[in-house]
Amino acid sequence: MSTFQAPKGTYDLIPPNSATYLAVREAIAAPLKNSGYGYVETPGFENVELFARGVGESTDIVTKEMYAFETKGGDKLALRPEGTASVLRAALEANLHKGGNLPVKLWYSGSYYRYERPQKGRYRHFSQVGAEAIGAEDPALDAELIILAHQAYRSLGLRDFRILLNSLGDKECRPVYRAALQEFLRGLRLDEDTRRRIEINPLRVLDDKREAVQEQLIGAPMLRDYLCEACKTYHEQVRELLTAAGVAYEDDPKLVRGLDYYTRTTFEFVHDGLGSQSAVGGGGRYDGLSEMIGGPALPSVGWALGVDRTVLALEAEGVTLDIPAATSVYAVPLGEEARRVLFGKVTELRLAGVATDFAFGGKGLKNAMKSANRSGARLALVAGERDLAEGVVQLKDLASGEQTPVALDAVVEEVRRALG
Ligand code: HAM
């Protein structure tokens, strides 16, 4: 074992399991690419102020979980804890919203960092695929995003997930509700920390998992009863569109998210096989975020799905993805001359688009054939001196063991035929 280990709360993606992660990323991205979302990539760190203002000064993410640091040049930066603020910052900076083509629809995939207490499904370095639709207020856009996430999970073969849906109201109705909730909460028997939370972020108190708190919350005012007409109508339309698309959801009037920028539609995808870290993805509308970070009014909506937790969900359901073998052909040279000739054929096959690997390191036949089998290849190309003297190599079907000589200049053609 080496002296170094991956830092606490992190882990490495290593073959063969890493192939599942790649496949999950691709499966989540596929419906987005198919629906007009363009790829965006932003830096792994940003000005710390972007997250403080965007995600919210009072959130756990900003107060406790951010990897914030000062550079040698004195810049105050933070590793990104999430993607929405960065993507919106990038869109504003590039003036994408001024192209007269709203909404600007973007998708992304990358690493995010939160200094959390590590446990299964909760890491300090994790991976998300996300989507943001910037600059349009349209219930069909909220519905589209939820439908696309649903489609992604279904395409992976997941079944035991649920969609929780809520509306958090807007700048008209939420403050009225907030005040009513604060008044209710101030009358409860709560600890110091929670009392402080009532003043800063009362909605988060509803999310308290402790039974003693939950018991007291019975009878608390619910946001749903405070929604203004515009928010009610908007939410009703989102629900109707989801129902029409055959996407089942559960109304969860207590759903509160850990980021402050949400307005109106909020949702979470939860998986029932994951224990306490059950949220595999989440998102919602953030109509005020652009203005919070110094931009114009740009009502927007988006989500991010956690790749790590989606992989855990697959494991929990016993789903194995059908990942094609990385290698189709494995070349096994016997002797120096064969090494030279077969290596040339390997390059030729690769250029022709056939995934090919080679027995490096001068292995003997037995070891080389073991590697060929392990590679998952369907065919082996084997050649020794006698074959070369006859101008052929042996094309071996690794499943049946059947072997046929193939003329050297017909290798690419014959391999292609054999692979079908
Ligand atoms: P979030 O709910 O904080 O939302 O994160 C989205 C997903 O990322 C979670 O549901 C979870 O699967 C995964 N995740 C978060 N933290 C961790 C962690 N410590 N370890 C493993 N997985 C984790 C956002 O980040 C918003 N930016 C989503 C959004 C986009 N809202 C609008 N647009």
What percent of the residues of the chain are helix, what percent strand, and what percent coil, each to the nearest 5?
40, 20, 40
Last residue of a domain, one of 317, 346, 361: 317
In a domain, 210, yes or no: no
Calculate mean pLDDT across residues 260-287: 96
Calculate mean pLDDT across residues 120-136: 98
* φ/ψ (deg, to 5) at 187: -85, 0
In a domain, 334, yes or no: yes
Examine the domain organization and report whether 334 and 285 are in the same domain. no
Residue with the smallest CA separation from ligand 1 atom 11 is 306
In a domain, 253, yes or no: yes
Is the sign of the CA dihedral 108, 109, 111, 117 positive or negative?
A: positive
In a domain, 52, yes or no: yes
The pLDDT tens digits of the residues spanning 162-200 come to 999 999 999 999 999 999 999 999 999 999 989 998 998
Q: Mind spelling out the 3-state secondary structure of 195-207?
A: HHHHHHCHHHHCC
Q: Which two tokens stand for residue 400?
A: 């049946």
Query: How far is the C-alpha of 57 from the C-alpha of 403, rounded, in Å?
Result: 68
Last residue of a domain, one of 275, 294, 317: 317
Examine the domain organization and report whether 272 and 165 are in the same domain. yes
Q: Which two tokens stand for residue 91?
A: 């869109």
Which amino acid, one-letter code, is at 198?
I
Query: How far is the C-alpha of 225 from the C-alpha of 111, rounded, in Å?
Result: 38
Question: Ligand 1 centre from 128 Cα, in Å?
Answer: 7
Please, what is the Cα angle at 79 between 74 and 81, to 5 degrees? 140
What is the side-by-side strand order in the sheet with 356-358? 356-358, 329-333, 379-383, 392-397, 403-407
Calculate mean pLDDT across residues 201-213: 88
- How many separate domains does the chain show? 2
Query: Which domain does 363 fall in, by range?
Result: 329-419
pLDDT value at 256 more than 90: no
Three-state SS at 334: coil
Q: Which residue among 309, 312, 314 is best mutated to probe the pocket of ligand 1, counting the most ligand atoms within 8 A of its Cβ?
A: 309
In a domain, 103, yes or no: yes
